């Protein structure tokens, strides 16, 4: 595992609370899913440029690169991508499904994220 860590610069990390998987994002645009007790990632998915943030809600994963992308986390299929007016710093989801995008001094909320 130490060899794997030396090859990647991790730029984002979150937990999918529905299944305990830890998702990490790299500077090379790769999201990896780590299962507790396993020394290698179970999933590696190229999502674009540097991963700034990752969020989960129900069966969907949201990744923030230069845009927000919505993925079906069961099939690992891109469902929608949304360009942003400027570079965002992080994203988060609420229990009711709101998506928040943080631009530093401004936060935008999206009620009906298209999937």
CATH code, residues 2-110 = 2.130.10.10
For the full predicted model, state whether its pTM sits above 0.85: yes
Coil, helix or strand at residue 3: helix
Position 8 scores a pLDDT of 72
Average pLDDT for the chain: 90
Q: Residue 5: in which H helix or E strand, if any?
A: helix 2-7
| pLDDT tens per residue, range 57-93 | 999 999 999 999 999 999 999 999 999 989 999 999 9
**Listed residue (19, 18, 16, 110) closest to 31, CA to CA:** 16
Angle at 90 between CA 83 and CA 29, to 5 degrees: 65
Q: Where are the domains of the chain?
A: 2-110
* For range 13-36, the mean pLDDT: 95
């Amino acid at each position: 595992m130490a060899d794997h860590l030396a090859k990647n610069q991790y730029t984002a990390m979150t937990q999918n609370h529905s299944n305990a998987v830890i998702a990490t994002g790299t500077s090379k645009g790769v999201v990896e899913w780590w299962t507790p007790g396993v020394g290698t990632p179970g999933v590696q998915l190229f999502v674009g440029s540097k991963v700034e943030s990752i969020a989960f809600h129900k069966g969907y994963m949201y990744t923030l690169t230069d845009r927000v992308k919505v993925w079906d986390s069961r099939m690992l299929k891109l469902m929608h991508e949304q360009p942003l007016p400027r570079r965002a710093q992080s994203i988060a989801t609420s229990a009711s499904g709101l998506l928040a995008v943080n631009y530093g001094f401004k936060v935008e909320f999206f009620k009906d994220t298209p999937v």
